Structure 1
């Protein structure tokens, strides 16, 4: 073995992992099937928010290299799979990337290697999907090579917690597999937490995000009836948050985005339905509530316009912030997309501004960012704050708008409508 680790999939999960491993002095090879990604990284260019060109250059200086040559996988002591796991059109888990990556690893698998899956998936994937594929060549997990699952905990844009100081859960298909995988992560992560097995590690990841999913749905539903009752939910949350125990603050919004919250809980409900034959009612209800928020925001927008004697049809509506999270460019599953679709279906003329997104790819085509933010705010019949990027002087923008709808609860100006 000539390389400490090969990381398959150099996106929002794999690239920060490669960075931290390289920083610790490990020899790191990155593998990706995208020649654009590979060529860009080898030239010192980054394609993810959390890593700059300087970060990539630092990795290259430490010996990092990217490749699309699968033959190089055989030279690694450890192989970590960090590929996407989206939902299929019918809402079931799409493991195409996982099976494809596993088959690639299987073709190059060598005795003594440690293989770790980090891609979020349903409980049992490591043992039932990955392990059989890897063993097709005759090598046995736990004997000839070691296999484990370790859920990624990447939080893009988080200035406090990164790879190194976020505890790492690791569960192998055998106790020896757990220990070998844990030994690998201990080389560059402060705290490694062994799980009973791979299924427990897989389920822990789903529980983390299902917990958030359900609690966000709770406050989203509260936002609706608090508005009807004339109660300021944002003040309610701040009051409840003064309790030093037994409460964690969650906040309403125009919907949920990113890879984790809209997708991961569905892996758990899919497992319950297909394996046990009954629904995971909390998850499915939360999905119903959260997915309904863009439609609710649209109805609120229509009500706000009605106050000015205007109809939604023909109204100029400006959306501020179209990424799923503040201060990043990541648009995965952003609720801004269904919100724009709802507004357009009602006849609104939708424009947008986002400091990180010069061109916004919508299902029916690309929309260009408004060139002059303040001019666009003044010209719009309604401005909707969808994502509260720090670059926005929200109070100033709200004061310039004819009508301002704050879906993030960050404004205190009189006359502003809040979710």
Structure 2
């Protein structure tokens, strides 16, 4: 019937995709590597690929496991798959998938009561640090905790840590041997309390699959097809778990962009993405370079910035092409300090609103939450209304209100 808009489910999983997305989604079963730049529709592509494989009868929906890096991204995958009529496919984070599998196989592998999950390890690390006469200030313990997390994600045990730390130039302000001792003490204390941290979920699930044939056989019978999102950010521990899941099979689709690696501080590396075709010489490789998110001017700037970056891995170049209408050229300005920058930003926002731009269409982005104070203060001084997304207003935070009250009390006493 003319004028009726048909859903993706009705039109088929390959309908409505651009040529490159269609090539990736419709690739034959087997290894597929999708090099996808920002805004190129990678989530759409991988969900339509799963739908195509299921619709074509290559795999059952409940034999698909898709993994990504945040619970929000996993939820988005599940929602889109439901809209495509794919019910039963699993879409989870690496850790959530490992936790589910570990709980299921625990009675067979360990046999006793399941250990509790340690949500925040910093307190236990702090106690271990105290026993070793290491500093216990929050900032120091946080850094030491991060180093233990890096080591576990990198498959580096306490006994190997000093040599690896020296080779890779790791420096957290304490001798590597002392950090290794802390690492060992923390692991011992955790195990004595029958606790698992989030890194253990990956390591223990991998061990269950590698060391117990019946566990591996049951898992591999259950899951036949794997999709890995944000593959440029996998750690050695995650890659080893993926290898254990696959068990020598090659029905895996990976999606990533080496230029978007953001978790290298935690042990992640784009190397598995860049080496994918070396591992799977017959892999289908598709490059998504049509950017649907930004104007051509923004996309062109991004290409220039990425192209000028030093030390970029070979084979990582993606030249994006903006698909949206033209927009203004990006403008740059420099300021002597954060306060001056915030004042200039507030003035520009005030100017835009005064010229008729709706305040809800203006966004101010900053790198960390601690920077919000300067911008909130500058906007407030100009009477510009604002909303803080993903956090609480600086001057509404409990600790800030208490500090302000204390300052006002001290001021009133001084004036009296």
- Mark yes or no: TM-score above 0.5: no
Give the alignment's TM-score, normalised by structure 1: 0.28
Give the alignment's TM-score, normalised by structure 2: 0.28
Considering fraction of residues, name the structure with more helix.
2
Q: Which has the higher contact order (CA 8 A, sep 6+)?
A: 2
Considering fraction of residues, name the structure with more strand.
1
